[in-house]
Amino acid sequence: MKITRARLIVCSPGRNLVTLKIETDEGLYGIGDATLNGRELAVVAYLEEHLLPTLIGRDPAAIEDIWHYAYRGAYWRRGPVTMSAIGAVDIALWDIKAKVAGLPLHQLLGGPSRQRVMVYGHATGRDIESCLDEVQRHVELGYRAVRVQCGIPGMATTYGVAKKTGERYEPADAELPAEHVWDTARYLDHAPKLFAAARQRFGNELHLLHDVHHRLTPIEAARLGKEVEEFHPFWLEDCVPAEEQDAFALIRQHTTAPLAVGEVFNSIHDCKALIENHWIDYIRATLTHAGGITHVRRIADFAALHHVRTGFHGATDLSPVCMGAAIHFDTWVPNFGIQEYMPHEAVVDEVFPHDYRFEDGHFIAGQTPGHGVDIDEELAARFPYRRASLPVNRLLDGTLWHW
């Protein structure tokens, strides 16, 4: 079998999504997700100009060799653009391999470790009460785990909170970056109250998660961890920016709140110290942004040695293609923790027909050979790309801060 064609489909059914289709001389094709939120066309250029031309004529079964050809051969290693491009190719090649084998992807990876994978949903509200009403709605839908984010009194906007209660949260909401304002003192005062109110209303069984979105310093994160620890969070996510991995040692000294990190990571080297020093509990790097199944499998195996579990990023900027492949991965991976799930708009699900399904707070992988996600190209063509940017964030005095 040979690769005859590899091309990108860029569409925007409510949000931008970049899809790679690799075709073969035997008619089989594979699909990969190449979406890098707010930087979509950088990955398109990388693939079209540099990576896709090198694939033509190759045997799509040689996934390992193609991965190293793309990674080592580029000379310029790592980085979100490079690794998302490699990730898309890798997901598409695993899709082809599983279709050739006639197996759903999780069977090719080693078979199921579980029948279904627990997901967490997003509850957001302008204040604590409306956020908790959203938690209630999720509980009624069957969720066992819910991420809680709410507006902070005195602040006009905050990350992770939908514009209106019940709406989807979509951060890339303007052609040029919107400017948000952040006040750590107000946040640190308010966040523990949200946890306390959630535990009071829902008891101890429901898993509660929270995303800090890189906004604290290590000592501030340590304080937050200490204050919410008694409410038994499932995790605190991205408490600090993680370029400096040993900052987590300080947080760890002060709190037993489990820590999750890594949605912006793209390589095992981004989390090596975090994992081997037991500074984190969950690793969030997912297939699209971290070099595909071939590389994330290495991260997951390394994490397993150190009691770290997976908790893959699953925001709407990961397309159903990434989600489908991730659910197969989650079904296989022995050290699975949880899977994030922000439902896509109905039209996105129409553009990407898929066989995974949500049931009772869990995802169940499909049985179709491959990862089970396809693209309706005719429908996709009705939604052309439009530039959309993630916001920036400033402190009250105007200093540019982490978003």
Ligand X SMILES: O=C(O)[C@@H](O)[C@@H](O)[C@H](O)[C@H](O)CO
Q: Which residues bind Mg ion (CB under 5 A)?
A: 211, 263
The residue (of 267 and 286) whose beta carbon lies closer to Mg ion is 286
Active site annotation includes 169: no
The residue (of 100 and 342) whose beta carbon lies closer to Mg ion is 342
Near ligand X by CB under 6 A: residue from 317, 326, 330, 351? 317
Q: How far is the CB of 315 from ligand X (least distance, A)?
A: 3
Q: Residues 207, 213, 313, 354: which is the catalytic one?
A: 213
Residue 103 sits in the site that holds ligand X (CB under 6 A):
no
The residue (of 6 and 224) whose beta carbon lies closer to ligand X is 224
Q: How far is the CB of 42 from Mg ion (least distance, A)?
A: 21
Q: In the window 202-231, what residues touch ligand X (CB under 6 A)?
A: 211, 213
Q: How far is the CB of 387 from ligand X (least distance, A)?
A: 15
Residue 288 sits in the site that holds ligand X (CB under 6 A):
no
Q: Residues 143, 159, 282, 356: which is the catalytic one?
A: 159
Residues in the interface with ligand X (CB under 6 A) total: 9
Active site annotation includes 143: no
Q: In the window 349-368, what residues touch ligand X (CB under 6 A)?
A: none
All residues at 6 or more sequence positions from 202 whose CB lies less than 8 Å from its CB, including other chains = 132, 135, 139, 208
**CA dihedral (300, 306, 312, 313) positive or negative:** negative
Residue 372 sits in the site that holds ligand X (CB under 6 A):
no
Residue 37 sits in the site that holds ligand X (CB under 6 A):
yes
Q: How far is the CB of 214 from ligand X (least distance, A)?
A: 9
The residue (of 94 and 120) whose beta carbon lies closer to Mg ion is 120
Q: How far is the CB of 119 from ligand X (least distance, A)?
A: 12
Residues acting as catalytic residues: 159, 213
Residues that bind ligand X (CB under 6 A): 37, 171, 211, 213, 263, 313, 315, 317, 340
